[in-house]
Amino acid sequence: MAFTSDQTTLNLAVIATNTVARTGRARVTSIQGYGIASATLILYDTTDTSSLGTAVATYNYGTEGLSVYVPGSGIVFKNGITYNLAGASGSATITITGA
């Protein structure tokens, strides 16, 4: 018997550019960020990288890294997930449901 899940992970590795990570509805349930100096991760509910609107979530972290578990049903993104990650050689991994 094969089991399927609507949960998956996305690796966010593009630096200093608005980048679409996923199109369509999803909920972010956890975030892990590689610790580097002056790291910032901004998440937007859009797939339009030129007109982002208001940020849904912003995380400023440094060399200590980032580890966030989002309680309840997570952070909902109705249109898609676009991100901007600042900090050279940084990356983040988000867990989503709705895959």
Which residue ranges make up each domain of the chain?
7-97
How far apart (Å, rounded) are the C-alpha atoms in residues 30 and 32? 7
Residue among 5, 17, 1 nearest 86 (CA): 17
Please give the average per-residue pLDDT across 12-31, as a whole number.
93
More confident residue, 50 or 2: 50
DSSP annotation of 87: S
Please give the average per-residue pLDDT across 9-19, as a whole number.
91
- Residue 99 pLDDT level (bands cut at 50, 70, 90): low
How far apart (Å, rounded) are the C-alpha atoms in residues 58 and 87? 14
- φ/ψ region of 50 (left if φ > 0, alpha if ψ in -120 to 50, else beta) reads alpha
Please give the average per-residue pLDDT across 14-36, as a whole number.
93
pLDDT at position 64 is 87
Match domain 7-97 to its CATH number in 2.30.30.60, 3.20.20.140, 3.40.50.970, 2.60.120.220. Answer: 2.60.120.220
The three-state DSSP-derived secondary structure of 25-39 is: CEEEEEEEECCCCCE
pTM for the full model? 0.90
pLDDT at position 11 is 94
pLDDT at position 1 is 63
